[in-house]
Structure 1
Amino acid sequence: MRHDKAAMVIELARRMAASAEGLTLTEMASEMGVGRRTVERMRDAVLALYPAAEEVSDPPTKRWRIRGGLSAFEQAPTAEELLELTKAAQALRLAGEPARAQALESLERKIKSATRSTALNRLAPDLEALVRAETIAVQAGPRPSADEAMLAAIRGAILAERPLDFTYSRPGAEARRRSVAPCGLMFGRANYLVAADRESGRIQTFRLDRMSAVAAGEGSARPPAGFDLSAFANRSFGIYQDEVEEVVLRVTPDGAAEARAWRWHPTQTLMDLPDGGVEVRFTASGMRELAWHLFTWGEQVEIVAPQRLKAVMAGELAAARRALDRAEAGAD
């Protein structure tokens, strides 16, 4: 068996050991990127090499898993894997997310403690060199915050399907006590709790840095039936949720190459234009965040639709103009 095929068999074994319920042949083929016959041969090789591998009946199909995990030799991390884990923790800490960074750093220590000392000694020089050679570029923007106790309270309420009680403070408004059905967390330029109103079921978002006295409440509180957090997040261009509209942008030939490589939105479609430009279409809410983003494209992007996005962009331009005029008047 060639080296690449042996590596694929070991990788399939890792995935089978990582799944508590086991994997079907269809799931194996999808995860490994191979056809049905190939994955059947790989599964047979895993069954022959790993005595702990077992078949699990799951009508109308079958699943296979490896109970008890794999040995330290087979699970030894690479320098690149440890590097990415280290960088992810560094990025969270630089972004003002110490609780989430600490969780990754704890995972890194557990992985290293479960790795044989000979493997760690072999990895150490490469890992040290890669850490020195790569860094995180810190970008301007808000510093989202969520302390460990708050995250633990929110996650605990979600797992227990209990209501979440907290005090919410908005700028210019009186703080008020809220009790909601927590649906999930969205992390980004700001961190948000996504929750449903316990009476109407309406989905709302709450900034974590405006929440205090967070605790699980009494009783039961579940997300609305069929709610999908990923689908909810994909509605918006950024975080803010408002009316969903069809967005049409035209990018000039000068910016077309960058636009084609840009991830605008999960629903995006791109169409080449006769002049060498490109038309970008997607369906989203959050026109103010989109307008802020379009500032970075300068004259390379024309807003075709919707009209509301044009109005929001005009308002943001006017606000920027007023701020500049005040600064110039103050300098006189």
Structure 2
Amino acid sequence: MRHDKAAMVIDLARGMAASAEGLTLNEMAGQLRVGRRTAERMRDAVLMLFPQVEEVSDPPTKRWRIRGGLSAFEQAPTATEMLELTKAAAGLRGAGEAGRAAALEGLERKVKAAMRSTTLNRLAPDLEALVRAETIAVQAGPRPSADEAVLAEIRGAVLAGRPLGFIYSRPGAEARSRSVAPCGIMFGRANYLVAADRESGRIQTFRLDRMTSVEAGDGVAAPPADFDLAAFASQSFGIYQDEIEEVVLRIAPEGAAEARGWRWHPTQTIEGQADGSVVVRFRASGMRELAWHLFSWGEQVTIEAPQRLKAVMASELAAAGRALERAQS
């Protein structure tokens, strides 16, 4: 068996060991990014090498799992995997996310503690060299806040399906007591609780750093049955949720290559034009955040739609012009 096939067999065995309910053939094919026939051959190879594999009936299909995990030898991480874990923790700590960074750092210590000393000694020099050779560029923007106690309270309420109460304060507005059914958390330039208002049922977002006295309440408060956090997050260009609109942007020929490699939005389409420009289309809300982003494209971008985005851009440009005039006076 060729080396790459052997690696796929080990990877599939890890997937079976990591899944409590086991993997179907379709899930194996998806994990390995191969066709169903290849997945069947890989499964048979795992069955031959790992006799502890269990076949679980799950009508109308079957699942296969490895209970009890794999040996330390089969589970030893690579230097690259450990590097990415170290970088992820460092990136969170640099962004001010001390609680989330501590969770990853704790995981890193547990992984290293579970490794054989010979493996760890062999890995250490490469990992140290890679850590020195790579870093994460610090980007300008707000420092998100994710207090460990607040996160723990929100996560506990989500898991238990209980209501969440807190005091919410916004600049220029009076602090209000809120009671919501928590749906999840969105992490980004700022961290937000996504929740359904218990009176209106409307899905809203709340910045974590503006929430105080956060406490799970009694009773049941589950999110709407059809709510999908990933789908909700993808509606907006950034975080702010408002009316969804058809966005059409034309990128000049000199910026076309960069625009083709840019991830604008999950719903994007990019069309080449005869003059070398490209037209980017997507459906999204959050026109203000989109306008802020379009500043970075300068004269290379023309807003063709919607009209509201043009108005927001004009307003932001006017505000920037007034600020410059004050600075020059």
TM-score (ref. length: structure 2): 0.99
Q: Which residue is 1:196 aligned to?
A: 196
1:242 partner SS: coil
TM-superposed deviation, 1:177: 1.0
The equivalences for 1:69-80 within 5 A come to: 69-80=69-80
TM-superposed deviation, 1:41: 1.2
Q: Which residue is 1:220 aligned to?
A: 220
TM-superposed deviation, 1:174: 1.2
TM-superposed deviation, 1:136: 1.1
Cα distance between partner residues in 2 of 1:37 and 1:190: 45
Q: Which residue is 1:19 aligned to?
A: 19
Cα distance between partner residues in 1 of 2:192 and 2:34: 38
Q: Which residue is 2:250 aligned to?
A: 250
Q: Which residue is 1:297 aligned to?
A: 297
Cα distance between partner residues in 2 of 1:159 and 1:320: 45
Cα distance between partner residues in 2 of 1:64 and 1:152: 34
- Are positions 1:165 and 2:189 aligned together? no
**Per-residue CA distance 1:205-241 (angstroms, 9 max, x = gap):** 0000000111101110000111000000000000000
The equivalences for 1:302-313 within 5 A come to: 302-313=302-313
Counterpart of 1:169 in structure 2: which amino acid? S
Cα distance between partner residues in 2 of 1:212 and 1:69: 42
Identity of aligned residues (%): 81
Single out whichever of 169-178 and 122-131 deviates more from structure 2: 169-178
TM-superposed deviation, 1:52: 1.5
TM-superposed deviation, 1:324: 0.3
Cα distance between partner residues in 1 of 2:286 and 2:130: 39
Cα distance between partner residues in 1 of 2:294 and 2:132: 35
Cα distance between partner residues in 2 of 1:41 and 1:262: 38
Cα distance between partner residues in 2 of 1:172 and 1:72: 56
Counterpart of 1:167 in structure 2: which amino acid? I
**Per-residue CA distance 1:134-156 (angstroms, 9 max, x = gap):** 01110110000011111000000
TM-superposed deviation, 1:128: 0.3
Counterpart of 1:7 in structure 2: which amino acid? A
1:96 partner SS: coil
- Are positions 1:179 and 2:156 aligned together? no
Counterpart of 1:295 in structure 2: which amino acid? F
Counterpart of 1:20 in structure 2: which amino acid? A
The equivalences for 1:129-148 within 5 A come to: 129-148=129-148
Structure 1: segments with no counterpart, 5+ residues: none
RMSD: 0.6
**Per-residue CA distance 1:31-60 (angstroms, 9 max, x = gap):** 101122211111111111112211000000
Cα distance between partner residues in 2 of 1:37 and 1:247: 42
- Are positions 1:150 and 2:153 aligned together? no
2:302 partner SS: strand
1:310 partner SS: helix
Counterpart of 1:219 in structure 2: which amino acid? G
Cα distance between partner residues in 1 of 2:34 and 2:206: 43
Counterpart of 1:53 in structure 2: which amino acid? V
**Per-residue CA distance 1:243-300 (angstroms, 9 max, x = gap):** 0000000000000000000000000000001100100000000000000000000000
Cα distance between partner residues in 1 of 2:108 and 2:75: 14
1:170 partner SS: coil
TM-superposed deviation, 1:173: 1.2
TM-superposed deviation, 1:6: 1.0
Counterpart of 2:182 in structure 1: which amino acid? P
- Are positions 1:237 and 2:237 aligned together? yes
- Are positions 1:93 and 2:85 aligned together? no
Cα distance between partner residues in 1 of 2:201 and 2:225: 10
Structure 2: segments with no counterpart, 5+ residues: none
What is the count of residue pairs matched by the alignment?
329
1:23 partner SS: coil
Cα distance between partner residues in 2 of 1:188 and 1:210: 15
Cα distance between partner residues in 2 of 1:292 and 1:36: 45
Q: Which residue is 1:46 aligned to?
A: 46
2:179 partner SS: strand
Cα distance between partner residues in 1 of 2:67 and 2:124: 31
TM-superposed deviation, 1:167: 0.6
TM-superposed deviation, 1:78: 0.4
Counterpart of 1:252 in structure 2: which amino acid? A
TM-superposed deviation, 1:175: 0.9
TM-superposed deviation, 1:185: 0.1
Cα distance between partner residues in 2 of 1:36 and 1:243: 42
Cα distance between partner residues in 2 of 1:41 and 1:94: 45
TM-score (ref. length: structure 1): 0.98
**Per-residue CA distance 1:103-134 (angstroms, 9 max, x = gap):** 10011011001111100000000000000000
Counterpart of 2:255 in structure 1: which amino acid? G
- Are positions 1:30 and 2:26 aligned together? no
Cα distance between partner residues in 2 of 1:38 and 1:306: 47
Cα distance between partner residues in 1 of 2:79 and 2:259: 34
